[in-house]
Amino acid sequence: MTGTKAIFITGGGSGIGRAVACKFAAEGWFVGLGDISEDGMAGTRALLPAGRCFSVQLDVRDRGQWDDALGAFAEVAGGIDVVFNNAGIPIGGALVDCSPEEIERTLDINLKGVLFGAQAAWPWLKKRAPGSCLLNTASAAGIYGVPGASVYCATKFGVRAITESLDGEWAADGIIVRDLMPGFIETPLLDIAPNRKSNEAIRDRVTTAGLEITPVATVADAAWAAVHGERLHTLVGKTARQASFFARFLPGMIRSRNKASGRPLG
């Protein structure tokens, strides 16, 4: 596969990961998928051109699995131009309703998984520099903290910080670092409960709050633009753009609304 650009995507078995895989494959890239779900990756592979995809079961919480996965992909692809740190899980509801196990799992996947991915990606991206890229999935939840999302916001503020830190740290290596900051995206994650004590799907809460749900293809286009553009943080969707505007220019309004309604900005 020498001469063909290659991207490795975590969470590649569904949602944003699947959409980004399809986008980059359509642009002629060789695609690597990492996910804990073999069935999910099989579904993604079925959408990609034959012979232009590699998949490996990966738990992003396991540092050793990261090295094995990227090494195997690089051997097949001939190198790695982009690592997309995308795997993540949602958690919501009042902090007191979230169990220690749920909190630890979310921190491990959403935050430690990104740090481990960055560590494992660095040697491969350095070989393809300048112009290779680490792309992280942050969130509009990393712009301003909202009620009912303290743990999730903490992880996505963390991903944003990792992006900003490594943007400087890896500049001398010729590696660019970017992140996506989407609002609510049309993926299967919207149809699960925010925590074990809740029986209301995230989608129901979003709809009740009157917030926009962005098509997943929009995120895939944003990922392509982020890898090839100059923006450190790429906002995706109306909710993310609103949050960024109000956090920058009217933070007092967000704070007052948070206290009054207990709901995210809409």
List the CATH number of the domain containing 127. 3.40.50.720
Residue 118 reports pLDDT greater than 60: yes
For the stretch 159-212, pLDDT in tens is: 999 999 999 999 999 999 999 999 766 556 555 545 555 555 555 555 555 556
Distance of CA 231 to the CA centre of its chain: 16
Domain assignment present for 61: yes
Q: Decide: 43 and 13 in contact? Cβ < 8 Å.
A: yes
Domain assignment present for 202: yes
Domain assignment present for 266: no
- Helix then strand then coil, % of the chain, to nearest 5: 55, 15, 30
The pTM of the full predicted model, rounded to 2 decimals, is: 0.88
Residue 266 reports pLDDT greater than 50: no
CA distances from 98 to 39, 59, 153, 168 (A): 29, 22, 14, 35
Which structural domain range is residue 217 located in?
A: 6-261
Domain assignment present for 84: yes
Positions marked catalytic: 152
pLDDT at 202: 52
Domain assignment present for 1: no
pLDDT at 239: 85
* Helix 150-169, helix 100-107: angle, nearest 10: 20
pLDDT bracket for residue 237 (50, 70, 90): confident
Residue 263 reports pLDDT greater than 50: no
Residue 264 reports pLDDT greater than 50: no
Domain assignment present for 133: yes
pLDDT at 31: 98
**Total number of residues shown for the chain:** 266
Q: How many structural domains compose the chain?
A: 1
Question: Rounded to an integer, what distance in angstroms lies between the CA atom of residue 86 and that of residue 75?
Answer: 22
Domain assignment present for 60: yes
Q: Decide: 239 and 183 in contact? Cβ < 8 Å.
A: yes
Domain assignment present for 112: yes
